[in-house]
Structure 1
């Protein structure tokens, strides 16, 4: 398995109504988070500790909240907020 990101929970619903330009920015930042998580957690499937704390990322037009699950080698985008600025 290799590291990937995906929308989860309420973010899946919000994606349906958010503008494509905003979603492209969210997805670009999520790709960056995947690369960083993969570099830090080289042996993700063998990870024994608790998962690292997620966070919020501000992008033009809004923000999103993510969570990293190391043993699944996933970065989950759990919430997106489009503010339209």
Structure 2
């Protein structure tokens, strides 16, 4: 298994209605989070203990919230908020 990101919960539904340029920014930033998580957690599947805290990321046009699940080698985008700025 290798590190990936994906939408979780209601974020997938919200992504269907958000503008394409905003989603491109969210997805690009999620790719960066995946690379960072992979570098920090080299042995992801063998991880023991708690997962790191997720966070909020501001991108042009809005923001999104993510969570890292190390043993699954996933970064989940759990909420996206398009503000239109």
TM-score (norm 2): 0.99
Whole-Å separation in 2 of the counterparts to 1:54 and 1:67:
4
Equivalent pairs counted in the alignment come to 85
TM-score (norm 1): 0.99
Whole-Å separation in 2 of the counterparts to 1:31 and 1:12:
16
Unaligned stretches of 5+ residues in structure 2:
none
Is 1:40 matched with 2:40?
yes
Q: Tell me, what secondary structure is at the counterpart of 1:63?
A: strand
User: CA shift at 1:49, angstroms?
Assistant: 1.1
Spell out structure 1 runs of 4+ moving beyond 2 A: none
**Cα deviation digits, residues 23-68 of structure 1 (max 9, x gap):** 0000000000000000000000000010000000000000000000
Unaligned stretches of 5+ residues in structure 1:
none
Provide the alpha-carbon RMSD of the alignment.
0.2
Whole-Å separation in 2 of the counterparts to 1:9 and 1:58:
19
